[in-house]
Structure 1
């Protein structure tokens, strides 16, 4: 059995390219179905296990099958994103077997994140695994890979200080906003969306006690639920353009495939604000805010990639923890590869057990017939044991008399190890 991974992340691909391969959680099941169906016509890959991890910083596909099929996976992903395979290859990375396992373990442990040691990716990986399992795409090999990655991540966080002093995206946004506005308590903050990232960002900003908090969401009920936690108000997404001018800070992160805050809406808001500055953070992939907005005067727009400089601060203090984490990960990789290697013998073990059961059933049936005819129990047991022994030894004896001298010697050594072991 082989495992392979194909992906692109914040270090290998620009934001707009990553946006072409972003999948919302509710898109994972049909996307996995499409990927696995694409393998259906290939006799070498009749049953491919698959899982997709898609966050604002990465999209990664993990697969497992008897044979690695990276080229096919590349072609499918390029087609799904509507880009040339050559362009995807120039920004993607491919991994297989121990390299794929090590990468999964590093991602789960927060070592491959923009924010070193951040814990959010672990929850996102668990969501992705549940989605793959629900879609029927997760087999025993990938399930083992991910369960081991979660266990390694837990050990890394318990045994090291990898998460100490980490700066989340939300905390970085607060820090940048504080550089623009002298007193965040005098600002009005608008959050667009109501997902996990917005929840985290709202928690950080609420701690600064801004003058007002509002949640704009496509589903008003979900927006109201989040807004009530922070003493804020909820509004429909459709009302956003008309009310944009009211807010000094705008944080957006939705699953929309197209920008929901356009250049025209921001220009009108600036005019209504008499060009008082606006701080905007687009945490979405693909973008929620049109990139042209960044060129406007009095607009301070940051994307997830723009926050990289802020979140990297304090990295040096955690390098010792990284070294400790890598040792834990190496041990986890060795354990997984040992398990994966053993998986190759499973079909043979199953065949041996089936053959032994067949021999046992045959001899049991013969013994019952002899007993029914009145044969003594001792005689029946003797015949049954002899029959089983002959069946078990027949193949070995035949091999000892077949082939040339070298092959017979090799067979003899193997049989000695298997059958002449001394009990300890």
Structure 2
């Protein structure tokens, strides 16, 4: 069974390329079924991890990588509307134990834009649940992901990889504090109601801004989050008309098209009499048109920009990376052994079937001999000799054909417990 991890991330592809290949949460099931149809052969397995920093496909299939990878790349390229050759320049492929190492590093936060960030583990667990719900998760990927969760837990428990971690939400507030003397004097708008917006809104709420408003496509969901933070909610449709009210706008939605365009920001700036605005676009694909950054009174930061500002804390944790890599190495070795054992299962089954057939044949002969009046001791002797000859015939024939040198160590391990000389 080949195990593959194929994808693109913040290190291999720029933000706008990643945005083209992001999978909305409600589209994962259909995408998994489409990917399963592409793989065709049972028992092919698949899972998709899609975050603002990465889109990765995890696949287990009886086919080899050269058979699978071109087809999967073509499928992914079609979804993003990009030629396969152009996509290939931004993607990476990991196989078998290298795929396991990559998965374990992702789960442990070692492959994250912000070293050691814990959110990726929850995102990976959700990806596994989606694959399971779509019927795309089998025993091989189940083992891969369960072992990745275990390795991530050990890394968190036994190293300081997460110590002094600066989250994207905390970095957003720190950036606001650098641009405005007091966040308490600002009006903050958070667009969306997902996990990232909830964390950002919570950090801003702790600074007690003049107002904290949450805009979401589903007003009730925005109201529920606003109620827990002492803020207010507004309909997403009101955003263009009320944009001028806010000094700080943070947006992170699953929209496939920008929600805040250049014209809307220009009108807001005119109404604000050119007072500056801080816009944080944490969405992939973008929620805010990139042309907005050209306006002199606007400070626009993307998720990639924000990540660069928190790398200092990541550098202070580099000392823990080596220790984490040792934990991952051990996990990869264990998975490799499990995978090798799985590969031997068909051979083991065939051997058992062959031995059972030989045993049944010798028992049938023994019964005929007993019915013919042969003494029982002679029957037992003939039975044992018949089984022994069948069991040893192939091995002895190969030893004679090979001259004994090549197969001798293997035969000694299999048949001679005391490690004596080969027959």
> Which residue of 56, 60, 66 corresponds with 1:60?
56
Structure 2 residue aligned with 1:229: 228
Structure 2 residue aligned with 1:34: 34
Residue 396 of structure 1 and its aligned partner are, at CA, apart by 2.3
Residue 253 of structure 1 and its aligned partner are, at CA, apart by 0.5
Aligned length in residues: 416
SS of the residue aligned with 1:345? helix
> 1:156-180 CA distances to partner (integer Å, 9 max, x unpaired)?
1111111112211111111111111
Matches within 5 A, 1:153-172: 153-172=152-171
Structure 1 residue aligned with 2:402: 406
Contact 1:245/1:273, CA 8 A, preserved across alignment: yes
The separation in 1 between residues aligned to 2:259 and 2:153, in whole angstroms, is 38
Task: Identify the range of structure 1 (273-282 vs 51-60) with the bigger mean alpha-carbon deviation.
Answer: 273-282
Contact 2:247/2:277, CA 8 A, preserved across alignment: yes
The separation in 2 between residues aligned to 1:365 and 1:220, in whole angstroms, is 78
- Where structure 2 has 5 or more consecutive residues not aligned to the other structure, the ranges are none
Task: Identify the range of structure 1 (219-228 vs 119-128) with the bigger mean alpha-carbon deviation.
Answer: 219-228
Structure 2 residue aligned with 1:397: 393
Structure 2 residue aligned with 1:296: 295
Residue 21 of structure 1 and its aligned partner are, at CA, apart by 0.3
The separation in 1 between residues aligned to 2:53 and 2:113, in whole angstroms, is 8
Structure 2 residue aligned with 1:108: 107
- Report whether the alignment pairs 1:49 with 2:39: no
SS of the residue aligned with 2:188? strand
The separation in 2 between residues aligned to 1:214 and 1:384, in whole angstroms, is 88
- Report whether the alignment pairs 1:249 with 2:248: yes
Task: Identify the range of structure 1 (412-421 vs 228-237) with the bigger mean alpha-carbon deviation.
Answer: 412-421
Mark the CA change 1:79 to 1:367 in structure 2 (over 3 Å): closer, same or farther. Answer: same
Superposed CA RMSD = 2.8
The separation in 1 between residues aligned to 2:96 and 2:397, in whole angstroms, is 40
Contact 1:166/1:314, CA 8 A, preserved across alignment: yes
> 1:214-255 CA distances to partner (integer Å, 9 max, x unpaired)?
111111121111111101111221121122122111111111
Structure 1 residue aligned with 2:417: 421
The separation in 2 between residues aligned to 1:259 and 1:176, in whole angstroms, is 23
The separation in 2 between residues aligned to 1:15 and 1:118, in whole angstroms, is 19
Mark the CA change 1:411 to 1:291 in structure 2 (over 3 Å): closer, same or farther. Answer: closer
Matches within 5 A, 1:112-131: 112-131=111-130
> 1:238-274 CA distances to partner (integer Å, 9 max, x unpaired)?
1211221221111111111111111222222222222
- Where structure 1 has 5 or more consecutive residues not aligned to the other structure, the ranges are none
Q: When the two structures are superposed, what TM-score results if normalisation uses the length of structure 1?
A: 0.89
SS of the residue aligned with 1:91? coil
